Structures are given as structure tokens and as C-alpha cells.
């Protein structure tokens, strides 16, 4: 299945920085060869039309709803989101943006301004930015026991829009990751985005779906994460990056003819020196070829389901695991200090990640409490890889329950732990169990 997961020995990259940008695996030979061959022939800026850019746009269009038929090529996800913001503002004639709390959309100044994850630690919230609650049914105000969390969270967006309009503000866009990642690997309740789109369009704005971390078959069931919302849901703008080039700097914005025409009406052409160059498009085409020939979307669905099942078994065994959520190979494991309040187990998550690194597994955390383990590996991640990772997590959590006991969910007596059956328990990997992490957690 494509290239191996190994970076060094048995080191496995699971987090976005270790795997997310690499859809088909590190240095996949098909992708490397495509870049090499095109480099041998020609690489030039996009003022000179080349077959690769046309072919690539055509191939991408086959994966998207037919309404999304105009493509702008760039070098990074940040550039893509910045252009999406420009498109929305030019099309609507409005300035303001609604975003989700804890969101991150890129490192450019324009995107820091619409990323609560960043601006709260910098210059603060601009008057043209309006923040809606994260649609988190585990930790948010409307949880899994709410009769209609999708409507409740969508009404929060509606309220944010109304407050903005009362102040004389005009909305250009609602901007969101199709599956909020930095916010804690969130799976919005079904129907949420459709209702939000209705509210923002009624206010004169557009719906922008940020697929930079979650697109290209990662969710398994669909090629794009926004398609989890249903066949009839179509964003006005979709941005993509990271895994689109498998580590090569490629990004894209897809939008409608209406939005594109409004943008062109300025008379100021869009130009990007290296965006859409022949080599980048050859790489993009090669990534699409590998996704298809190696059936990585179906693979992500299969391995993701296996991983979710085995992580859920660990949840039954280890009370520190409060929630396991995800789709395909986009999975979050929410660690908690206590089961009633669901207090984020921040220090414990950091300790676990450090111990995993000692075992050559690269995992990191996200969420407001930095307590959600994020799983976004290259899509060639295998069943064996999944079983190995779960076994290591089990080993470390068991050891923490015996030795660390820093919070209520770790204060478990050995005879009270609910062990998995031999039939369902992943193969255990032996380790010495020593607490060798440099992180310090107060023991009780």
C-alpha cells in the first residue's frame, strides 16, 4: 500500500505535522517521479498556460459538486484561505466574517484576524470578526443528550449574525473547517452546516469550507469532509492545501462561476507566480492517481473504523478517555480529569504524548484544553500500525494508572479496571513501564 509509514525505524507519524500533509505517505515514488519528470521538461510561472493546470483542474472538478467549477491555484493553505476571504468580500461587497471559536485558518495577517486560536494571544478580536460557539456535542453547551444540537448550535450562529447586523455590520462569509481540527477534532452534528449556510446566505454572505486538513478522502465516507453534511449541501467556496501536494507546496480554491465573475469584475487579475506551475500540477495529478489506484479513501474508511473501535475499547478500560470521535482517519481522543465535569486532562495528555514519542510514535494534542489526541496520519496508515499504536496507548495508560494517578480518572485500583476480552484486545507490546518522561506530573 504505497510507501511505508516509517520515518526512522518504527517511528510512526500520526499528528498533522507528522502525517496530515502527506496523504499518500512519505516520498511516495509515484509522486516523486512525477515531479522529477516534469522538472526535466519545463517549469514556469502560470502566465504561460500548460496542459497540467487544465488537466488538474478537470480532475479536481470530478470530485466536487458541479457548481464548484472555477479553480485558483496557489502555494499554501494560508494563501488559499486569504484568497477565499478576498473572493467573499468582493462578491458580497461586505467586510465582516463569522468564525468558530478556537478556529485556525492560517498564518497570514488576514487569517490570524479570523483565527480565535491565534488572535486571542495577539492583538485581540477585530470589530469585523464575529465568533460563534464551536459545535462540540461533548464539551459544548449543547451535548449528546440535547434533542437537536445541530439546530441549537446553528441558532447560536444566527444570533451572532443578528447582533452584528444590529450594530450595522454586513457579513461577507461564514468561515469554518468542515471538521474543526485545532478546536479539538470536532464532528459537528448532522444538519448544522446546512442551517448555518441558510442563515449566512440570508444575511448576504457566503459559506466557505476550509478542507485544508480534512479533504482528499481522509474522512473515508466521502472525498470531502463537507459532504458528510449530505448530497444537497454545497459551499460557495472550498479551500484545499496540505495533503493536496503530499508535502509539495500546492493549494487551491474552488468556487462558483458567480463568485468568480464578481471577482473578475474588479479588473484586477489574479496572478500567482508559482501557483499552478507545471511541476506542482504534475505532483497534484500524481497524488490523485495514487489515491485512486491504491484506493486510499476506502482504506481510510476501513482503517479508521478499526482504529475507532479499538480506541473505544480503550475508553471502556481507561476512564481518562472521555470521548472517542471521528470519521475515517480524522479521529480525536478527549482525555478528562473527571467523568462528571469532563475537565480537560491537559498535563496527562502532554505526558502521554511524550511517552508515545519515546516509543517512536508521533502524536500531538489539540483543543482549547490541549487535551485531545489528534489522529491524522498519512492515509497509507495500516491496520497493523493502528493496532500497534493502540497497544502502546494501552500500555502507557495502564502504567499511569498504577504509578502517576494525577487526577480522578487515573485513581483506579488494578482490580477495578475493566479489562478487554482476549478476543477483542489488541496485541500488547511489551515495555519496561518506566516513567522516563521529562514532564512532571504531581503524584498523589
Same domain, 106 and 209: yes
Domain boundary among 253, 269, 293: 293
Q: What is the pLDDT of residue 96?
A: 97
Category of 362 on φ-ψ map: left (φ > 0), alpha (ψ -120 to 50) or beta? beta
Which segment of 91-105, 174-188, 244-258, 411-425 scores lowest on mean pLDDT? Answer: 411-425
pLDDT reading at 440 higher than 80: no
122 found inside a domain: yes
422 found inside a domain: no
pLDDT top residue among 246 and 432: 246
CB-CB contact of 30 with 256 (8 Å): no
Dist CA 345 CA 351 (whole Å): 10
Q: Which residue has the cell 500533509?
A: 21
Q: What is the pLDDT of residue 15?
A: 57
| CATH classification at residue 177 | 3.40.640.10
Same domain, 285 and 310: no
165 found inside a domain: yes
Dist CA 109 CA 120 (whole Å): 14
> What is the pLDDT confidence band of residue 423, given thresholds at 50, 70 and 90?
very low
Same domain, 288 and 311: no
Domain boundary among 246, 273, 293: 293
Q: What is the pLDDT of residue 5?
A: 39
Same domain, 46 and 187: yes
Structurally, how many domains does the chain consist of? 2
Q: Which of 182, 176, 248 is nearest to 23 (CA)?
A: 248
pLDDT reading at 442 higher than 80: no
Same domain, 78 and 17: no
Q: What is the pLDDT of residue 281?
A: 95
Q: Once rounded to an integer, what is the mean pLDDT over residues 259-277? A: 91
* Structural domain boundaries, residue 357: 12-21+295-416
Q: What is the pLDDT of residue 62?
A: 97
Same domain, 146 and 128: yes
pLDDT reading at 432 higher than 60: no
CB-CB contact of 393 with 428 (8 Å): no
Q: What is the pLDDT of residue 10?
A: 54
pLDDT reading at 426 higher than 50: no
Residue 41 CB-density burial (10 A; 0-12 exposed, 13-18 middle, 19+ buried): exposed
pLDDT top residue among 252 and 9: 252
Question: How many other CB atoms sit within 10 Å of the CB of residue 42?
Answer: 12
CB-CB contact of 111 with 99 (8 Å): no
Cα–Cα distances (Å) from 415 to 400, 403, 418, 419, in that order, read 15, 15, 8, 9
407 found inside a domain: yes
Same domain, 279 and 314: no
Instruction: State pLDDT tens for residues 357-368.
Output: 999 999 999 999
Same domain, 106 and 142: yes
Q: Show Cβ contacts of residue 277 under 8 Å, excluding neighbours closer than 6 positions.
A: 43, 44, 45, 46, 50
436 found inside a domain: no
Instruction: State pLDDT tens for residues 70-120.
Output: 999 999 999 999 999 999 999 999 999 999 999 999 999 999 999 999 989
Residue 346 CB-density burial (10 A; 0-12 exposed, 13-18 middle, 19+ buried): middle
Q: What is the pLDDT of residue 38?
A: 87
427 found inside a domain: no
Same domain, 366 and 327: yes
Instruction: State pLDDT tens for residues 40-65.
Output: 998 888 888 899 999 999 999 999 99
Q: Show Cβ contacts of residue 202 under 8 Å, excluding neighbours closer than 6 positions.
A: none
Same domain, 199 and 313: no
> What is the pLDDT confidence band of residue 14, given thresholds at 50, 70 and 90?
low
Which segment of 56-65, 97-106, 286-295, 408-417 scores lowest on mean pLDDT? Answer: 408-417
pLDDT reading at 431 higher than 80: no
pLDDT top residue among 432 and 383: 383
357 found inside a domain: yes
pLDDT top residue among 424 and 221: 221
Cell of 389: 499504536
CB-CB contact of 2 with 292 (8 Å): no
Same domain, 177 and 276: yes
pLDDT top residue among 124 and 9: 124
> What is the pLDDT confidence band of residue 397, given thresholds at 50, 70 and 90?
very high
Give percent above pLDDT 90 in the chain. Answer: 77
431 found inside a domain: no
Same domain, 365 and 271: no
pLDDT reading at 171 higher than 70: yes
| CATH classification at residue 326 | 3.90.1150.10
Global pTM value: 0.89
Instruction: State pLDDT tens for residues 175-215.
Output: 999 999 999 999 999 999 999 999 999 999 999 999 999 99
Amino acid at each position: 500500500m504505497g510507501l511505508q509509514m516509517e520515518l526512522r525505524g518504527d517511528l510512526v507519524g500520526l499528528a498533522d505535522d507528522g502525517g496530515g500533509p502527506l496523504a499518500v505517505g512519505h516520498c511516495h515514488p509515484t509522486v516523486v517521479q512525477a515531479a522529477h519528470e516534469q522538472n526535466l521538461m519545463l517549469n514556469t510561472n502560470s502566465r504561460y498556460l500548460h496542459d497540467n493546470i487544465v488537466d488538474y483542474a478537470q480532475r479536481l472538478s470530478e470530485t466536487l459538486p458541479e457548481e464548484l467549477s472555477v479553480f485558483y491555484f496557489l502555494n499554501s493553505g494560508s494563501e488559499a484561505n486569504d484568497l477565499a476571504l478576498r473572493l467573499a468580500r468582493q462578491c458580497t461587497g461586505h467586510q465582516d466574517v463569522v468564525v468558530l471559536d478556537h478556529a485556525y485558518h492560517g498564518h497570514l495577517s488576514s487569517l490570524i484576524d479570523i483565527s480565535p486560536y491565534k488572535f486571542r494571544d495577539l492583538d485581540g478580536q477585530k470589530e469585523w470578526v464575529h465568533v460563534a460557539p464551536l459545535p462540540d456535542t461533548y464539551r459544548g453547551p449543547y451535548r449528546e443528550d440535547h434533542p437537536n444540537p445541530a439546530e441549537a448550535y446553528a441558532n447560536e450562529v444566527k444570533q451572532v449574525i443578528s447582533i452584528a447586523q444590529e450594530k450595522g455590520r454586513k457579513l461577507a462569509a461564514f468561515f469554518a473547517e468542515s471538521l474543526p481540527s485545532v478546536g479539538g477534532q470536532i464532528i459537528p452534528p448532522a444538519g448544522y452546516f446546512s442551517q448555518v449556510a441558510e442563515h449566512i446566505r440570508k444575511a448576504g454572505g457566503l459559506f466557505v469550507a476550509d478542507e485544508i486538513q480534512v479533504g482528499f478522502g481522509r474522512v473515508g465516507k466521502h472525498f470531502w469532509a463537507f459532504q458528510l453534511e449530505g448530497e444537497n449541501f454545497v459551499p460557495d467556496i472550498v479551500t484545499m492545501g496540505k495533503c493536496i501536494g503530499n508535502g509539495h507546496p500546492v493549494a487551491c480554491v474552488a468556487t462558483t462561476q458567480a463568485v468568480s465573475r464578481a471577482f473578475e469584475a474588479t479588473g484586477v487579475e489574479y496572478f500567482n507566480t508559482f501557483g499552478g506551475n507545471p511541476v506542482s500540477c504534475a505532483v497534484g495529478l500524481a497524488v490523485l492517481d495514487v489515491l485512486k489506484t491504491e484506493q486510499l479513501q476506502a482504506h481510510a474508511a476501513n482503517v479508521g473504523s478499526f482504529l475507532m473501535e479499538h480506541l473505544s475499547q480503550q475508553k471502556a478500560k481507561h476512564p481518562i478517555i472521555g470521548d472517542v470521535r471521528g470519521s475515517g482517519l480524522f479521529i480525536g481522543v478527549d482525555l478528562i480529569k473527571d467523568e462528571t465535569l469532563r475537565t480537560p486532562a491537559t498535563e496527562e495528555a502532554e505526558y502521554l504524548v511524550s511517552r508515545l514519542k519515546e516509543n517512536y510514535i508521533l502524536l500531538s494534542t489539540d483543543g482549547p484544553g490541549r487535551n485531545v489526541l489528534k489522529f491524522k496520519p498519512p492515509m497509507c496508515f495500516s491496520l497493523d500500525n493502528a493496532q500497534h499504536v493502540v497497544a502502546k496507548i494501552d500500555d502507557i495508560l495502564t502504567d499511569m494508572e498504577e504509578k502517576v494517578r494525577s487526577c480522578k480518572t487515573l485513581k483506579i485500583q488494578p482490580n477495578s479496571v475493566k479489562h478487554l476480552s482476549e478476543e477483542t484486545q489488541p496485541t500488547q507490546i511489551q515495555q519496561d513501564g518506566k516513567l522516563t518522561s521529562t514532564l512532571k506530573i504531581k503524584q498523589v
